[in-house]
Amino acid sequence: MTGQPVTGACVYSSSGACTTETADGVYTFGPFIAVTTLELWASHYPNHFPVTIGSAGVSFGQIQSLTVRMTPGAVVEVPLTAPSGVALPDQICVAAVRNGSLSRLAYESQCAKPVDGRLLAGPFNAGPAQFFLREPSFGYLGSQWATATGGSGDDREAPAYALSVGTVTTIPTQHLGQAGTIWGQVTGADGMTLKQFCAVASLLVTTCSEGAGSYILSGLGPYKWRVRVDSRGTRDVLGWSGGAENSRDATLVQVVGGRGVRADIDLPTLKTVVVSVAGAPQQTLQVDAFDATTGDWESGDGGGYALDTGLTLNGPVLIRVQSPVLAQPCWYDPRRFTTQPYYTGKAQLNWLTLTPGVNCTADRPPLISDRPALPRR
């Protein structure tokens, strides 16, 4: 994009080895003694996004010249410390997380080798992002969110840093600590042990039960973490640590390095809601439910289903419907349409019919903000 030669890149074929840079930004393969076709790729971490060049053919005595344009990205510099006597690992992965309210979690991850206590990771796309650090294989040092004070297990304490293309953004020093474990049993509202589920620690550390009803989350830094329980197949959110319905009210579980801590989770009552939209064929719908307090994605369905669209809900939600036959997304807010049946407490709604412009509107509803947050534990 700058038009300047990219020096220090790795241009390689299927052999995987980087070829020779014979001049600034010039990379050469050969000579060949027969007609040759190569599949080529180029990378230049952490500054540029990798490129698939494609096939390049050359005959004996011929010189084939190709011009490759690489797109620069944003780079983050992370100063790191480890406990006394512990070396930093060969690789640390940095995830740039973009978790806006009323949207699905999105992140991109890059791994790099720390040099002299500093990690340069990239390329990333521009825009505000939180950062999550971990070893690729969850080794001695635990995962953590990057914070102003050096680390946390709670993403709410992780500030978003503005990333710019072609710029290195340096964040405060992060203090990596010995990893610990959270484990426990998950029980449904009916008192029965849940067999098939996935447990998630603060968005990015996941383990799935194999039918025993228990979970083990390893590789966590010595901080306080929230644990989320998802359905194994659809990844609908079933509940949170402490039996909470949403992330804001979830119990924080303190991890101690080198040890395991037990955190059994009793799930709230779940409701199944089937959504239909007047004038929109059921198989065209994409329906998403977001927690009405936090805006976290909770459940979704749609995209090719021939029958009904079903949502699994553990508390009050805002519902968004999208379809090719709708001019724009349509939102349902139960607080605005009191005549439309909607569950409260333990009551249950089996069917919700939405009519665009009547009880489903284009304006995105506000989140619940009329009660204080529960005290953190």
Report whether the peptide linkage leading into residue 79 is cis, meaning its omega lies within 30 degrees of zero.
Answer: no
Same domain, 121 and 144: yes
Burial label for 81, CB within 10 Å (0-12, 13-18, 19+), is middle
| Domain span at 261 | 180-266
What CATH code is carried by the domain that includes residue 129?
2.60.40
Residues 239 and 287 in one domain: no
Same domain, 257 and 277: no
Residue 83 counted as domain residue: yes
343: pLDDT confidence band, cut at 50, 70 and 90? very low
Distances (CA, A) of 205 to 96, 230, 277, 371: 14, 13, 36, 30
Residues 79 and 155 placed together within one structural domain of the fold: yes
Instruction: Identify any residues that bridge with 287 across adjacent strands, giving them in sequence order.
Output: 301, 321
- Closest to 167 measured CA to CA, from 63, 262, 303, 46: 46
Instruction: For residue 226, give the amino acid letter.
Output: R
Pair 316, 241 in one domain: no
Q: Indicate whether 82 and 136 sit together in one domain.
A: yes
CB atoms within 10 A of CB 126: 15
Count Cβ neighbours within 10 Å for each residue of 148-182 and write b for 16 or more, e otherwise: eebbbbbbebbeebebebeeebebeebbbbbbbbb
Beta carbons of 190 and 150 less than 8 angstroms apart: no
Residue 369 lies in a domain: no
Backbone φ and ψ of 313, nearest 5°: -125, 145
pLDDT band at residue 304 using 50, 70 and 90 as cut-offs: very low
Domain boundary, last residue among 122, 154, 175: 175
Last residue of a domain, one of 266, 296, 320: 266
pLDDT reading at 209 higher than 70: yes
Confidence tier at 100 by pLDDT (50, 70, 90): low
The Cα-based distances of 176 to 111, 132, 133, 179, 275 in angstroms read 16, 12, 9, 9, 46
pLDDT of res. 203: 66
The dihedrals phi and psi of 278, each to the nearest 5 degrees, come to -60, 125
Q: Are strands 127-134 and 168-170 parallel, antiparallel or unpaired?
A: unpaired
* CB half-sphere exposure, 125, CA atoms < 13 A: 8
Residues 159 and 192 in one domain: no
For residue 291, tell me if it sits in a domain. yes
pLDDT for 135-181, tens place per residue?
988 889 999 999 999 999 999 999 999 999 999 999 999 999 999 99
Mark whether 16 and 33 lie in a shared domain.
yes
Across the range 66-76, mean pLDDT stands at 94
Give the mean model confidence (pLDDT) for residues 57-74: 86
Domain annotation covers residue 359 = no
Neighbours of 300 (CB within 10 A): 20
Flag whether 362 is in a domain.
Answer: no
Task: Say if residue 170 is in the same domain as residue 185.
Answer: no
Q: Are residues 40 and 63 in the same domain?
A: yes
Provide CB contacts within 8 A for 250, sequence distance 6+: 226, 227, 228, 240, 241, 242, 244
Q: 349 and 283 in one domain? A: yes
pLDDT at position 192 is 87
**pTM for the full predicted model:** 0.86
> Read out DSSP for 351-366?
EEEE-BTTTBBSSPPP
Average pLDDT over all residues of the chain: 86
C-alpha to C-alpha distance for 116 and 134, rounded to whole angstroms: 18
Tell me what percent of the residues of the chain surpass a pLDDT of 70. Answer: 89
Asked whether residue 129 is domain-assigned, the answer is yes
Q: Look at 141 and 102; give whichever has higher pLDDT.
A: 141
Domain final residue pick, 125, 155, 175: 175
Structure tokens at 357: 């412009």
* Whether residue 309 has pLDDT greater than 60: no
Q: For residue 64, what pLDDT band results from cuts at 50, 70 and 90?
A: confident
Residue 101 belongs to some domain of the structure: yes
Could you tell me if 185 and 228 lie in one domain?
yes
Number of domains in the chain: 4
CA 101 to chain centre: 13
Q: Which residues contact 249 (CB under 8 A, 6 or more apart)?
A: 240, 242, 293, 373, 374
For residue 297, what are its two tokens?
């994605």
pLDDT band (50, 70, 90) for residue 1: very low
Q: Given a cut of 70, is residue 370 above it in pLDDT?
A: no
**Which tops the pLDDT comparison, 101 or 142?**
142
Give the mean model confidence (pLDDT) for residues 255-268. Answer: 95
Question: pLDDT at position 350, please?
Answer: 67
